Amino acid sequence: MRYDLNLMPVFMALMEERNVTRAAERLGITQPALSNALNRLRETLRDPLFIRERYGMRPTEMAEEIAPTIRAALESLDDIVLSHQEFEPARAERLITIAPNSYVEFVLMPAIVARLRQVAPGIRLRMTPYGSDLAETGVISGTTAMVLGRITDPPDNLVVQHIMDDGLACVVRAGHPEIGNSLSRDQYETLRHVNVLPPGRLKAGLFQVLEQKGLRREVAVSVTHFLAIPELIAVTEYCSTLPRLICRHLARDIRMKVLPAPVDLGTFPVQMAWHVRYRHDPAHRWLRGLIMDVAKEVSSSPDQEGVL
């Protein structure tokens, strides 16, 4: 029996997206073209494969049964083809979509972009938000090349690699009337705090470590991004507990004073994850190496202000 291998990516796009519009966008084809391909698949396999429902497409039992085999076959083909491709960073022209969380966007992305401009100016990056749901980033389906941040409970089709660790420190305004060059436990618990609620798991980690240390904190205001912190701290007598590498940036602002936390709050990991289909993609492998190098440099560079 003859099979049209061009139909297999259509099947997997529908299987992973469960939505005709998203599947067509992912494949770069029109919805009518996708529907035509699906009809040909149905004729070949003699099964409806996907049943239209109110909020998308539900795979049939047969679709569920054959999906692992088709996925494995496509991944094997990708590995063979990509492993024989050459990649020259200086001459490459490519758009790569990545999903950094707000921490990585603040701390690492400027250095990553600057490095790319030097060694691979034809590589363009498109950043998409990374919240608490990996599926929404597109990394599970492979449409997004990688996610960067805190990766928890990854599915089996993702590879996770540790990038670096960071700790926590505190920031108050430089002219704070009650805080000198150190911050005691009592002062920390007396102050009112600005809390950062970025998407993902970092917020849960901070709450948990404060509870473990028995350190109380009265939250006066919560914000959704680290960039909101300087303006709030500059006009209040509040305190904020932030990653050390972000505090290093804030210490350059003469309105800010960065201090060690009153107790050791430990560290948290920063990771990247990608779909297994990119394991042997030369461009992807090269970018992963570049990100590792940049993260090592950023995390190990000396603190110029001497405050952390």
For residues 276 and 159, the answer to whether their CB atoms sit within 8 Å is yes
What is the mean predicted confidence (pLDDT) over 42-49?
91
- Summarize pLDDT for 206-236 with one digit per residue, the tens: 888 888 999 999 999 999 888 899 999 999 9
Whole-number pLDDT of residue 79:
66
Q: What is the 3-state secondary structure (H, E, C) of the chain?
A: CCCCCCHHHHHHHHHHHCCHHHHHHHHCCCHHHHHHHHHHHHHHHCCCCEEEECCEEEECHHHHHHHHHHHHHHHHHHHHHHHCCCCCHHHCCEEEEEEECHHHHHHCHHHHHHHHHHHCCCEEEEECCCCCCHHHHCCCCCCCCEEEECCCCCCCCEEEEEEEEEEEEEEEECCCCCCCCCCCHHHHHHCEEEEECCCCCHHHHHHHHHHHHCCCCEEEEEECCHHHHHHHHHCCCCEEEEEHHHHHHHCCCCCEEEEECCCCCCEEEEEEEEEHHHCCCHHHHHHHHHHHHHHHHHHHCCCCCCCC
Query: Of the segments 6-10, 224-228, 256-260, which one has the largest average pLDDT value?
Result: 256-260
Q: Which of 21-35, 57-71, 131-145, 199-213 has the lowest mean pLDDT?
A: 199-213
Whole-number pLDDT of residue 223:
92
Report the candidate in 192, 175, 307 with the shortest Cα–Cα distance to residue 234.
Answer: 175
Query: Of the segments 84-98, 218-232, 291-305, which one has the largest average pLDDT value?
Result: 218-232
Split at pLDDT 50, 70, 90, the class of 287 is very high
pLDDT greater than 80 at residue 187? yes
- Summarize pLDDT for 72-90 with one digit per residue, the tens: 787 777 666 666 566 789 9
Q: Which of 42-51, 57-66, 125-134, 280-289 has the lowest mean pLDDT?
A: 125-134
Split at pLDDT 50, 70, 90, the class of 246 is very high
Work out the angle between the directed axes of helices 31-45 and 20-27 (0-180°, nearest 10): 100
pTM of the model: 0.73
What span, in angstroms and rounded, lies between the C-alpha atoms of 228 and 232? 7
pLDDT greater than 80 at residue 180? yes
Q: Token pair for residue 202?
A: 């970092």
Phi, psi of 196 (to 5 degrees): -100, 130
Contacts of 40 (CB under 8 A, 6+ apart): 4, 7
For residues 286 and 87, the answer to whether their CB atoms sit within 8 Å is yes
Whole-number pLDDT of residue 199:
52
pLDDT greater than 80 at residue 260? yes
Query: Of the segments 16-20, 28-32, 200-204, 245-249, which one has the largest average pLDDT value?
Result: 245-249
What span, in angstroms and rounded, lies between the C-alpha atoms of 128 and 108? 15
pLDDT greater than 80 at residue 18? yes
What span, in angstroms and rounded, lies between the C-alpha atoms of 44 and 30? 21
Contacts of 207 (CB under 8 A, 6+ apart): none
Computed over every residue of the chain, the mean pLDDT equals: 88
Instruction: Tell me which of 200 and 244 has the higher pLDDT.
Output: 244
Report the candidate in 155, 151, 189, 156 with the shortest Cα–Cα distance to residue 170.
Answer: 189
What is the mean predicted confidence (pLDDT) over 156-177?
94
Whole-number pLDDT of residue 303:
62
Whole-number pLDDT of residue 83:
60
Whole-number pLDDT of residue 233:
96
Contacts of 204 (CB under 8 A, 6+ apart): none
